[in-house]
A = this chain, B = another copy of it.
Amino acid sequence: MLRRLEIRAPSRGLCEFTGEVRAIVREAGLEQGLCTLFVRHTSASLLIQENADPSAKRDLEAWIARLVPEGDSLYTHTLEGPDDMPSHIRAALTAASLSIPIVDGGLGLGTWQGIYLFEHRKRPPPREVLVHLIG
């Protein structure tokens, strides 16, 4: 079964959409199975991270912004703006696809795990995530 999610991140950074995926899994009515997410973009990525304390999210955003800064003299791919090449690198270091088993009719996430779109552009367009379910 295939569903499409459109995610509109308000800004650069981690945008949680665990609830949207849970709703799709619930509706599918599978007791066991596998849920696979795939982001159809190269300047946004997927991440499973702690969703309890917002400071963890902020620190991760700040850390990767420092590791892969804008304005690096190494970049030659600059036509699409100063945030474009860092976006591709940050996406390469995180995930394009994630697979989460379905357990007892729900997502098999751990207690503190949330599913995030990692938006890397400053003025984000709507993003499409494919959700594939198999029983």
Contact = CB atoms under 8 A, between A and B. Distances in A.
A26 to B, nearest CB: 18
Given A41-B113, A76-B59, A34 B134 contact: yes
Given A74-B66, A103-B2, A42 B53 contact: no
A47 interface: yes
A40 B109 contact: yes
Q: How many copies does the complex hold?
A: 3
A66 B18 CA distance: 32
B38 A101 contact: yes
A115 B66 CA distance: 27
18 contacts: A2-B32, A34-B132, A36-B99, A36-B101, A40-B109, A40-B111, A40-B113, A41-B113, A42-B56, A55-B76, A60-B89, A62-B74, A93-B93, A96-B98, A96-B113, A97-B99, A101-B132, A108-B130
B88 A56 contact: yes
A117 to B, nearest CB: 14
A28 B34 CA distance: 17
A58 B89 CA distance: 11
